[in-house]
Amino acid sequence: MAIPILDVQRLTVDFTTRKGIVRAIDAVSLHVTKGETLGIVGESGSGKSVTSYAVMKILDRAGKITNGKITYSGMSLHKIAESDMRDIRGREISMIFQNPRAALNPIRKIGKQVADVLIQHNQATKADAREKAIEMLKAVKIADAEQRFHAYPFELSGGMCQRIVIAIALACRPQLLIADEPTTGLDVTTQKAVMDLIVELTARFNMSTILITHDLGLAAAYCDRLMVMEKGRVVEQNASTVLFQSPQKDYTKQLLRATPRRDSNVRDLLPEAMHGKADPLPQSIPPGPPVLTVSHLKMGFGKPGSENYHLAVRDLSFTIRQGESLGLVGESGCGKSTTSAMVMRLLDVTDGHIEFLGQDIASIPASQFASHPLRGKLQMVFQDPTDSLNPRWSAERSIEDPLKNLSKGLGKTERKARVVELAGLVGLPTHLLDRFPHQLSGGQKARVGIARAVALDPQLLILDEPTAALDVSVQAIVLNLLEDLKHRLGMSYLFISHDLNVVRLLCDRIIVMQQGKIVEEGDARTIMDHPETDYTRSLLAAIPHPPARETHTDSGALA
Amino acid sequence: MTSSSVTPATAPARDGLWHHLRYIMAENPLTGISFAMFIGLIIMAIFGPYLVPFDPLATGAGPALKPPNLAHWFGTDHLGRDVFSRVVVATRLDLLISVSAVALSFVFGSIIGSLSGYFGGWTDQIAGRFMDTIMAFPLFVLAMGIVAAAGNSVENIVYATAIINLPFYARMARAEVSIRRNAGFVQAARLSGNSELRVLFGHIFPNTLPPMMVQISLNMGWAILNAAGLSFIGLGVQPPTPEWGIMVAEGANFIISGEWWLVVFPGMALMLAVFTFNLIGDGLRDLVDPQRRT
């Protein structure tokens, strides 16, 4: 076996917090050999990021390495001085973070930022830094690198920014690249482009990579070896192909199940123990009369006729019937969020009609819709469960809010009873009701958000990427909850997402949007199997899939 | 041990206010000190007049211009009044002026700032230019002008101090509200049928309180200085009322002849009060921020 370039032995990191000392990672051992890509996979709180921070020695003040050894090409990183470590960071080991915009200095030209790193590590002099920086920008496939040298981060898209971050990380030809969720928050097609770029460059420079991700599909597609972490411990470590074919530990199996595959249905995502208990998927009932009819919807930003007038949504028409789920899919900037805001009556339309339960609601100004009788029938589940809850309000108060405002007939005790009933409906333990959002887990917050949305028995629920901010196992549970609620409460869904794979789990029909227009529309199955347009095909091709698993004996539910 | 196992699982996850307060003080000893000093100030303000050994207004409580001694801890002034009694009794007036001034500017500044941050457009333009106008004056001179024009009274000092502080609150409230204007929970509040004003004052505004608390406490110290400053130059509170600013002003005449205690003690009281309010800000912020209550 080759000598590992990075060797971590029994690494333990403790954090000092208000509640005492918390062990973030416990006796984690890993190694990376030259040219290899190691994937660290785990859900939030598993310690995967802390592991990489400890290797880079960028833990914050509360965190301390209490035990273990980190050896990087013969050097003991756990022992060396901060001044030497500063030399190693960037030149020997580099890191890419999740949010590229936050990683770049917003008021410095991107080319200068690349040049800075080169000068810092004596890889370039003032004279040739510019030239070398442009070369690096070209290497990460920035078109017009000479011109873009002078661009500021805000002028670039998220994918472009991530390329710049990669350029900075690789500028000094480090031996090891640590990529911490490098594509979270990017569209699938951008994700593919960025990941392909990382793979291409690391192969060209013969570098090793550690890819930290929560997405098993992504890890499977790009890593040689995988390490699964849970609660600060290593669960399992194996070559990717082996791990996917024959996972040894229960946690790995559960994680693999929860990652949506092309052929899985929403029940398959649940852990085996719950899978047996869950009710079989209800037969889809034939859709009833139309609930929502959108016709020739348009939305323009800026002054009409002026140069920066921009049509975010152009001539959009679709119908949702009672009990039906419609998926609205597209990349960021395609106008899907604008559409949802207009349908939700949070945004006034430029032109067009929105007919909801027989009434044209597009003509009602957004500011007056709050007190409209139809408000309660048209609700929404937001993308980020943390951001969508008032940080100063307890879960109970958040769920109660719509009842208080829109169900005038209810008294205080009736409202409390209804909140408890709703908590039961979404599976939120009632003793959590008096907690604040920051005291709840992501899944619990999502449940609070859903309870609030269904409090008034809505007819149509808009789901705006309701699981994008959640771990896969929580996503599995939330998706199942949404599926069950739909049948129990007879709601229709408009599911907005960039991830076709998740959308098709819940939706009967799918609309694919690009630049404010519908490019393809049809039955979910048909679109997934026989996409008609190139755009849909590219969306589908970009989704990283975990390799198909040999079907287990217990997959009776699928048949 | 057994009793803890009996307690139902529904025990509230929130710590009590007392527990929280203790934690905040333990985490930052300075906060503890500032809270203690604050309580001291409050006690002096409420009970001071009943506790002091001499009538603060009575001339001839002792011989005139005596340095600090056992009977008169802070000495006596040129009319033979007890400086200690006067310093203690002055606390109430000084705190009253600064608290009411800060309360006024907090309430009106927050309302103006929140509205302009939330609605933007012309509301923002008008409020913004109004605040710019106030800021264009040297603030102390503006306060002098207001008191001089409106008349020499305690109320007018309060109003003047409130007006010159208005822009700080308005600008802060505007910034804090406008960054939350389109947050997810605000959208959710709109969907829950809240009117625009309820969204603003029920949902957004309470979330701006933590930074506002820091502003309030810093501003309290500043307001005390401002009130004392106005009295010092002869506006506002009139002698013989005990007030730290006037006492410093009166004592200044005697400092050349060596009667230092007339200036030093009221000056110290002023300094300690300002110091307390500056320190207490962080503690107050921690107290009103639910995220610190884990």
- For residue A495, what are its two tokens? 């599911």
* Distance to chain A for B201, nearest Cα, Å: 13
Classify residue A151 as exposed, middle or buried by CB count within 10 Å of its CB (0-12, 13-18, 19+).
middle
Inter-chain CB proximity B191 and A379 less than 8 Å: yes
Classify residue B160: in a domain, yes or no. yes
Classify residue B83: in a domain, yes or no. no
Poorest-confidence range of A63-72, A282-291, B263-272, B285-294? Answer: B285-294
Q: Is the peptide bond before B240 cis (omega within 30 degrees of 0)?
A: yes
- The string of pLDDT tens digits covering residues B7-51 is 333 334 445 677 777 777 777 778 888 888 899 999 988 988 888
Inter-chain CB proximity B192 and A405 less than 8 Å: yes
- The string of pLDDT tens digits covering residues A137-180 is 988 888 888 888 998 988 888 888 888 999 998 888 899 999 99
Classify residue B12: in a domain, yes or no. no
Inter-chain CB proximity A391 and B185 less than 8 Å: yes
- For residue A11, what are its two tokens? 């690494």
Inter-chain CB proximity B291 and A438 less than 8 Å: yes
Inter-chain CB proximity A405 and B193 less than 8 Å: yes
One-letter amino acid at B127 equals A
Please tell me chain A's helix, strand, coil percentages from 3-state DSSP, rounded to the nearest 5.
Answer: 40, 25, 35
Inter-chain CB proximity B184 and A392 less than 8 Å: no
Classify residue B61: in a domain, yes or no. no
| Partner-chain residue, chosen from B13, B14, B193, that has the shortest CB–CB distance to A406 | B193
- Which backbone phi and psi does A61 adopt, to 5 degrees? -55, -35
* Distance to chain B for A432, nearest Cα, Å: 8
**Residue with token string 């500011």:** A367
Contacts by A278-287 with C-beta closer than 8 Å and gap 24+? A278/A480, A279/A484, A280/A557, A281/A483, A282/A487, A284/A508, A285/A323, A287/A321, A287/A322, A287/A323, A287/A324, A287/A508
One-letter amino acid at A217 equals G
* Contact assessment for residue A389 and residue B185, using Cβ atoms and an 8 Å cutoff: yes
Classify residue B79: in a domain, yes or no. no
| Residue numbers of A between 360 and 379 with CB closer than 8 Å to B | 367, 370-371, 375-376, 379
- The string of pLDDT tens digits covering residues B165-175 is 999 999 999 99
- Which backbone phi and psi does A31 adopt, to 5 degrees? -150, 150
Residues of A with CB below 8 A from B203's CB? Answer: 390
Q: Is A64 helix (H, G, I), strand (E, B) or coil?
A: strand
**Rounded Cα gap, residues B166 and B163, in angstroms:** 5
pLDDT value at position B16? 67
Q: Total structural domains in chain B? A: 1
ipTM of model = 0.80
Q: Which domain holds residue B133?
A: 23-49+90-292
Inter-chain CB proximity B191 and A402 less than 8 Å: yes
Residues of B with CB below 8 A from A387's CB? Answer: 183-185
Inter-chain CB proximity B192 and A389 less than 8 Å: no
- For residue B167, what are its two tokens? 């822009």
| DSSP 8-state code for residue A269 | G
| Partner-chain residue, chosen from A401, A406, A435, that has the shortest CB–CB distance to B189 | A401
Inter-chain CB proximity B23 and A18 less than 8 Å: yes
Tell whether B183 is within 8 A of chain A (Cβ). yes
- Shortest CA distance from A449: residue in chain B: B188
CA neighbor of A428 nearest in space, from A414, A441, A412, A416: A441
**Rounded Cα gap, residues A405 and A80, in angstroms:** 61
Classify residue B68: in a domain, yes or no. no
| Residue numbers of A between 441 and 480 with CB closer than 8 Å to B | 449, 452-453
**Rounded Cα gap, residues B157 and B233, in angstroms:** 13
**Rounded Cα gap, residues A15 and A30, in angstroms:** 21
Regions in chain A scoring below 70 on pLDDT:
1-2, 275-278, 282-285, 548-559
CATH, residue B169: 1.10.3720.10
What does the DSSP assignment read for chain B? -HHHHHS-TT--SSPPHHHHHHHHHHH-HHHHHHHHHHHHHHHHHHHHHHH-SS-TT-TTSSSTTPPS-SSSTT-B-TT--BHHHHHHHHHHHHHHHHHHHHHHHHHHHHHHHHHHHHH-HHHHHHHHHHHHHHHHS-HHHHHHHHHHHH-SSHHHHHHHHHHHHHHHHHHHHHHHHHHHTT-HHHHHHHHTT--HHHIIIIIIHHHTHHHHHHHHHHHHHHHHHHHHHHHHTT-SS-TTS--HHHHHHHHHTTTTTT-THHHHHHHHHHHHHHHHHHHHHHHHHHHH-GGG--
**Rounded Cα gap, residues A406 and A548, in angstroms:** 48
- The string of pLDDT tens digits covering residues B97-119 is 989 999 999 999 999 999 999 99
Classify residue B244: in a domain, yes or no. yes
Average pLDDT over residues B55-73: 76
Q: Which residues, other chains included, contact A457 with Cβ-Cβ below 8 Å and sequence gap of 6+?
A: A376, A377, A489
| DSSP 8-state code for residue A267 | G
Map out the domains of chain A with their CATH numbers: 4-259 (3.40.50.300), 290-542 (3.40.50.300)
* Contact assessment for residue B185 and residue A388, using Cβ atoms and an 8 Å cutoff: yes
| Partner-chain residue, chosen from B13, B184, B195, that has the shortest CB–CB distance to A371 | B195
Residues of A with CB below 8 A from B188's CB? Answer: 380, 382, 388-390, 398, 449, 452
* Distance to chain A for B278, nearest Cα, Å: 25
pLDDT at B271 over 50: yes
* Contact assessment for residue A39 and residue A71, using Cβ atoms and an 8 Å cutoff: no
Classify residue B116: in a domain, yes or no. yes
Question: Residue A112, CB half-sphere, CA atoms under 13 Å: how many?
Answer: 10
Inter-chain CB proximity A392 and B9 less than 8 Å: no
- Shortest CA distance from A374: residue in chain B: B193
| Beta-bridge partners for A14 | A23, A64
pLDDT at B1 over 50: no
| Partner-chain residue, chosen from B184, B189, B191, that has the shortest CB–CB distance to A387 | B184
Q: Is the overall model pTM greater than 0.95, yes or no? A: no
Tell whether B121 is within 8 A of chain A (Cβ). no
Inter-chain CB proximity A387 and B183 less than 8 Å: yes
One-letter amino acid at A308 equals N
Confidence class of residue B185 from pLDDT cuts 50, 70 and 90?
very high
Helix (H) or strand (E) holding A497: strand A492-497
**Residue with token string 């527990």:** B19
| Partner-chain residue, chosen from A344, A371, A431, that has the shortest CB–CB distance to B191 | A344
| Residue numbers of B between 7 and 36 with CB closer than 8 Å to A | 9-14, 23, 27
Strand order in the sheet with A460-464: A378-381, A460-464, A492-497, A325-329, A509-514, A517-523
Tell whether B185 is within 8 A of chain A (Cβ). yes
| DSSP 8-state code for residue A323 | T
* Distance to chain A for B189, nearest Cα, Å: 8
